[in-house]
Amino acid sequence: MAIQAARIRALTAAEEGAGRYVLYLMQQSMRSRDNPALEVAIEEANRRGLPVVAGFGLLDGGRHFPEANARHYAFLLQGLAEAKAGLERRGIAFVLRRSTPAQAALALGTEAAVVVLDRGYLAIQKSWYAEIAAGLDRPVLQVEGDVVVPVETASPKHEFAARTLRPKLHRLWEEYLAPLRPRRVARPAEGLGLPSDLDVSDPEAALAALTLDRSVKPVRRFRGGEEEAMARLDDYLAGPFARYGTERGRPEAGAASHMSPYLHFGQISPVAIALRVRAARAGTAEDKAAYLEELIVRRELAMNHVHYQPDYATYAAVPDWARKALAEHAGDRRDPVYDEAALAEGHTHDRHWNAAMREMRETGFMHNHLRMYWGKKILEWSPSPEEGFARTLRLNNRYFLDGRDANSFTNVAWLYGLHDRPWGRRPIFGTVRYLGPNTLRKFDAAAYLRSVEALCAAEA
C-alpha cells in the first residue's frame, strides 16, 4: 500500500542533483520497521539505484536538554542498538554523529541525492528541520510517522479539548490505520566510508563515553528497543489488556500497557500499536475503544497543543481563564509549602504522594491517575502557580522516561486548566479543577503502596 500523501511534504524546491546515497535522518522514529520516513527513503533510493544511509545526531546531555540524564540516554542507546541492527539487516547503513541532528544532516547531506526527515512537533525539532532545509541545496522531504493522523490534516487550529478533536480524528483515521509494507532495498549500502563517532552496538559502553548527568540512574523496569517494545505489546495484549476498559484507572491493577516510553523515543509506531489492538483476541470492544481513545485522541490532542501553541513549555500555555482564577487566589494561605528538593525526595506529609514520587524517581514511570494527583498537589504546595508549573515540568522531565514529550507539556498544562473547564471555586485553585483525598478512594491505595515497594526493591 502506498504511504498516504498527507504524510509527505517537500521542505525545499531544490532540483535533483547527483549523490552517492539517499540520506534518512532518523531523529523521531528510532526504528527499522513500521517507519514511513524510512520506507520513503528506500523508495527514493531504489528509484535512483542508490543505497540508503540512516544518520543520527546524538548530543551529550546539556544545553539542548537540560534535564536529560543517564536514565534517558541508556534507554535511547538501547533503542539505537536495536535500530542499527535492524537497519543493517535490511542493507541500510547507520551512521551516528556526535552533533545536533541538524549538523549531522548537513554534514551527511552534502553527498546525498535526497534527504528524508522525520516529523516532530516540539520547538527544538522544528528549529533543526528549518536549519536543514535552509542549509541544503537538494530535495528535502519530511514524512510523518509519529501520529496516526498528521496534525494539520486532523485540524488547522489549536483545539479546545478532546471533545472538539475527537470527531475530526474519527472521521479520518481509517485511511491512516493501514499496515506499512516494508520495501525491499535494491542496492545495499556497502563501502561508503562513512564512519560513526560512537558505536551504539554496545549500549553500556556508549553510555559510558558520554558526558551527562549520572545522578539519575538507568532503570531495570524498562529496556529500550523496537524488539522489546513489540514483545511487551504482544504480552500485554495477550493478558492484562482484557481488563483495560474496567481497570485502566486503577494504578495497582496492572492494566496499563507501558508503551509511553517507547512511543516517546519512536521505538514503536502508534499505527502498529493500533492495528495490533484492533486484532487482539483478548479484550472487548470497550477495551479496544478505550485504548484507541488514549493512543490516538488524547495523544494527538497533545501533538495539536505543542504544534499550535508556541509557548507550550511555559506558564503562558495555561488558558487565560485559568491563569486569572489562579491569580485571584495567589495570596491564599498555603500550608504546607515544600521546596523542590523535598518534593523530589518525597519528603511530604502525604504517604501516597510520596509513594508515587518514589515510583517515578526510582523506576521512571507513574500511572496517569496518580500523575494527575501528583501534579495537583505540587500546585497546592508551591508558593505560586507559576513556580508550581515550573517545578512540575522540571521533575517530570528529569525522572520520567517519557519526559519532554508532547504529552508531558500538555499534561502539566492540564493540571492548570488546559483542555478543561471551570469548576467550583475553592482556595488556592480558584475555579481550576481540584483533586483531593477522594482521588485515592477510587483504587486500592494500600495495594498500590505495596506495588511501589516491590518495584523499587527490584530496582535496588
CA distance 169 to 300: 9
**What residues contact residue 42 under an 8 Å CB cut-off, 6+ apart?**
22, 52, 92, 183, 184, 185
Task: Tell me which DSSP letter residue 293 carries.
Answer: I
Task: Tell me which DSSP letter residue 329 carries.
Answer: T
Which parts of 90-200 fold into alpha helices (H)? 101-109, 123-135, 151-154, 162-176
Q: For all residues of the chain together, what is the average pLDDT?
A: 97
Maximum distance among all Cα pairs of the chain, rounded to whole angstroms:
70
Burial of residue 123 (CB within 10 Å: 0-12, 13-18, 19+) is middle
99-114 per-residue burial string, b: 16 or more CB within 10 A, e: under 16? bbbbbbbbbbbeebbb
Dihedral angle sign, alpha carbons of residues 131, 76, 42, 8: negative
Residue 74 cell numbers, joined: 541508556
Residue 62 clears pLDDT 90, i.e. is over it: no
pTM: 0.97
Tens of pLDDT, residue by residue over 330-344, are 999 999 999 999 999
Residue 341 cell numbers, joined: 528538593
Residue 30 cell numbers, joined: 528510532
Share of the chain above pLDDT 90, in %: 96
**What residues contact residue 103 under an 8 Å CB cut-off, 6+ apart?**
57, 97
Angle, to 10 degrees, between the axis of helix 162-176 and the axis of helix 299-308? Answer: 110
Starting at the edge strand found earlier in the chain, the sheet holding 52-57 runs 8-10, 140-143, 112-117, 21-25, 52-57, 93-97
Residue 437 cell numbers, joined: 483525598
> Are 363 and 382 within 8 A, CB to CB?
no
Tens of pLDDT, residue by residue over 63-107, are 678 899 999 999 999 999 999 999 999 999 999 999 999 999 999
Predicted confidence band at 16 (pLDDT cuts at 50, 70, 90)?
Answer: confident
Residue-range domains of the chain with CATH = 1-146 (3.40.50.620), 147-184+225-308 (1.25.40.80), 315-459 (1.10.579.10)
> Are 415 and 439 within 8 A, CB to CB?
no
Q: What amino acid is encoded at 65 in this protein?
A: F
Residue 15 clears pLDDT 90, i.e. is over it: no
Residue 401 clears pLDDT 70, i.e. is over it: yes
CA distance 127 to 140: 15
* 5-28 mean pLDDT: 94
Q: For the chain, how far is it from start to end, CA to CA, in angstroms?
A: 48
Short-list 364, 350, 368, 373, CA closest to 458: 364
* 271-282 mean pLDDT: 97
Residue 39 cell numbers, joined: 520506507
Tens of pLDDT, residue by residue over 168-200, are 999 999 999 999 999 999 999 999 999 999 999
Residue 167 cell numbers, joined: 470527531
Predicted confidence band at 240 (pLDDT cuts at 50, 70, 90)?
Answer: very high
